[in-house]
Chains A and B, each alone.
Chain A
Amino acid sequence: MDDQNTETRTYLGVPLTRPRVAFFELSSCEGCQLQIVNNESTLMDFLSLVNVVNFREAMTEMTDHYDIAFVEGSITRSDEIERLRSIRRNANVVVAFGSCACFGGVNQLKNRFKDPDWVRRQVYGNHPIDTNETARPLEDFVKIDLRIYGCPVKKEEVEKIITHIAVGRTTVQPKYPVCMECKANENICLFDVGEPCLGPITRGGCDSWCPNNRFGCWGCRGPANDANIGQMQTIMKEHGFSEETMLDRLECFGGFTTYAEELRKNFKAKE
Chain B
Amino acid sequence: MKSTRTIDIHHITRVEGHGNIKITIQDGQLTEARWEVVETPRFFEAMLVGKKWENAPWISGRICGICSIGHTLASIRSVENAFGIVPSEQTRKLRLLLKHMETLQSHILHLYFLSAPDFLNIGSFFPLIESHPDVVQRAARIKQLANDLCDCVGGRRMHPTRTVVGGFTMLPEKKELVKFKIRLQEVSFDLRKTAELFRTFAIPDFARETEFVSLKGDGSYPFIGGDLVSTDGVTKKEHEYKLMTNEYLVEQSTSKWSRLSRESFAVGALARINNNFFFLHPAAREIGLSYGLRPICHNPYMNNIAQLMECVHVVAESMGLIDELLGMIWKEPRQVAIPRSGIGVGAVEVPRGILYHSYEFDGDGKIIQCDCVIPTSQNHANIQHDLRTLAAKCVSQGKPDREIELLAQMLVRSYDPCISCSVH
Q: B-contacting residues of A (Cβ < 8 Å)?
A: 1, 25-35, 37-38, 40-41, 43-44, 47, 52, 55-62, 76-77, 80, 105-107, 109-110, 113, 118-120, 122-125, 127, 129, 131, 135, 151-152, 209-210, 212-215, 218, 244-245, 248, 252
Interface string of B37-54 (1 = CB under 8 A from A): 000111111110101101
| Chain B stretch 125-167: residues in CB contact (< 8 A) with chain A | 125-127, 129, 136, 140-141, 143-144, 147, 155-159, 161-162, 164
Q: Is B198 an interface residue (CB 8 A)?
A: no
Q: Is B226 an interface residue (CB 8 A)?
A: no
Contact A59 B13 (CB under 8 A): yes
Nearest CB in chain A to that of B136: its residue: A44
Contacts of B156 in A (CB 8 A): 209, 213
Contact B46 A37 (CB under 8 A): no
Known A60-B14, A215-B169, A248-B51; contact A76-B46, beta-carbon cutoff 8 A = no
Contact A213 B169 (CB under 8 A): yes
Contact B40 A60 (CB under 8 A): no
Contact B52 A248 (CB under 8 A): yes
Q: Is B62 an interface residue (CB 8 A)?
A: yes
Point out which of B45, B63, B64, B420 has the most chain A C-beta atoms below 10 A from its C-beta. Answer: B420
Contacts of A107 in B (CB 8 A): 42-43
Contact B13 A28 (CB under 8 A): no
Contacts of A33 in B (CB 8 A): 65
Contacts of B136 in A (CB 8 A): 44
Contact B249 A60 (CB under 8 A): no
A113 to B159, CA, bound (A): 25
Min CB distance, B126 to chain A, in Å? Answer: 5
Contact A31 B170 (CB under 8 A): no
Q: Which of A30, A77, A218 contacts B17 (CB 8 A)?
A: A30
Q: A-contacting residues of B (Cβ < 8 Å)?
A: 11, 13-17, 40-47, 49, 51-52, 54-55, 58-59, 62-66, 68, 105, 109, 113-114, 117, 123-127, 129, 136, 140-141, 143-144, 147, 155-159, 161-162, 164, 169-170, 249, 254, 420-421
Contact A30 B16 (CB under 8 A): yes
Interchain residue pairs A-B with the least CB separation, the first 3: A31-B65, A59-B124, A213-B155
A1 to B128, CA, bound (A): 10
Contact B52 A56 (CB under 8 A): no
Q: Which of B15, B43, B157 contacts A123 (CB 8 A)?
A: B43
Known A34-B66, A213-B155; contact A127-B249, beta-carbon cutoff 8 A = yes
Contacts of B125 in A (CB 8 A): 58-59
A-B contact pairs, 7 of them (CB 8 A): A33-B65, A41-B144, A56-B13, A76-B41, A80-B40, A105-B62, A109-B47
Q: Which of A56, A58, A123, A125 contacts B41 (CB 8 A)?
A: A123
A60 to B62, CA, bound (A): 26
A10 to B157, CA, bound (A): 32
Contact A209 B161 (CB under 8 A): yes
Known A59-B13, A106-B59, A129-B254; contact A34-B45, beta-carbon cutoff 8 A = no
A131 to B39, CA, bound (A): 11
In the complex, besides A30-B17, A59-B14, A110-B42, 13 extra interface pairs with C-beta distance below 8 angstroms are A34-B65, A34-B158, A37-B109, A55-B124, A60-B14, A106-B59, A110-B47, A119-B43, A129-B41, A131-B40, A213-B156, A213-B161, A215-B161
A158 to B266, CA, bound (A): 37
Min CB distance, A33 to chain B, in Å? Answer: 8
Contact B46 A113 (CB under 8 A): yes
Nearest CB in chain B to that of A80: its residue: B40
Known A29-B420, A30-B17, A37-B109; contact A252-B147, beta-carbon cutoff 8 A = no
A25 to B65, CA, bound (A): 12
Contacts of A35 in B (CB 8 A): 158
A40 to B59, CA, bound (A): 26
Known A29-B68, A61-B124; contact A152-B159, beta-carbon cutoff 8 A = yes
Contact A110 B46 (CB under 8 A): yes
Nearest CB in chain B to that of A135: its residue: B42
A152 to B69, CA, bound (A): 13
Contact A59 B41 (CB under 8 A): no
Known A60-B14, A76-B40, A248-B51; contact A31-B68, beta-carbon cutoff 8 A = yes
Q: Which of A25, A30, A213 contacts B66 (CB 8 A)?
A: A30
Min CB distance, B314 to chain A, in Å? Answer: 18
Contacts of B147 in A (CB 8 A): 38, 40
Contacts of B124 in A (CB 8 A): 55, 58-61
Nearest CB in chain B to that of A121: its residue: B46
Contacts of A40 in B (CB 8 A): 140-141, 143-144, 147
